[in-house]
A and B are shown apart, each in its own frame.
Chain A
Amino acid sequence: QKEVEQDPGPLSVPEGAIVSLNCTYSNSAFQYFMWYRQYSRKGPELLMYTYSSGNKEDGRFTAQVDKSSKYISLFIRDSQPSDSATYLCAMSDENAGNNRKLIWGLGTSLAVNP
């Protein structure tokens, strides 16, 4: 079993739809949870960052962490064609001292159709 599981999709939605992206994980020591966006042939770009449990909102994006279920989500409201990309979840272990190496999901490919 992988430490972080993420459905690779692809996911195709019409413009304006609400998109829900999810990851599950097995390591209860994970405390830092990130969502990255990656356009084709580019580097990962940080979208949202959450420490421990709870919700965080930034514009059209909302990140949720449920540590009891080991489940994290990213919601995109009013999706736009420019949101078409691969979305990767990533996590790191607070017990690793200063080492913040990230453990990644496979990424979900999203296409928003005009």
Chain B
Amino acid sequence: NADVMQNPRHLVRRRGQEARLRCSPMKGHSHVYWYRQLPEEGLKFMVYLQKENIIDESGMPKERFSAEFPKEGPSILRIQQVVRGDSAAYFCASSPFGGDPIPPFGPGTRLTVL
């Protein structure tokens, strides 16, 4: 896999539903960053994970948001009981090692909450 993959590319949820966003890193990459891009607010760091470990979740909202990166499979960003303010583009980036300053980004998932 030459690129960072994210799916779905577009996700529509009603208020109160759950949203699951998936990020498949490039082959051999074991570190993932998640970012959120809100209208008029720019990109903001959410969480940094290594396989099976959360390294930095300082940018995650305290409630309803969680992230994981299991030993096998993609990284998952989970948003429970979505609200309209969660509507945004969510991007992930992956790197093969810690300290890589320029991890490539995926194409993003655009979440719309009705």
Contacts and interface: CB of A to CB of B under 8 A. Distances in A.
Whether A and B are associated in the same complex: the answer reads yes
A104 B44 contact: yes
**Interface of A (DSSP majority class):** loop
A48 B108 CA distance: 21
Given A42-B107, A45-B105, A97 B99 contact: yes
Interface in B57-104: 59, 89, 91, 95, 97-104
Contact of A101 (B45, B104, B107): B45
Contacts of B18: none
A103 B58 CA distance: 13
Give chain B's interface residue range (CB within 8 Å of chain A): 20 to 34
Give chain A's interface residue range (CB within 8 Å of chain B): 20 to 34
Nearest to B106: A43
B48 A101 contact: yes
Contact of B48 (A42, A99, A107): A99
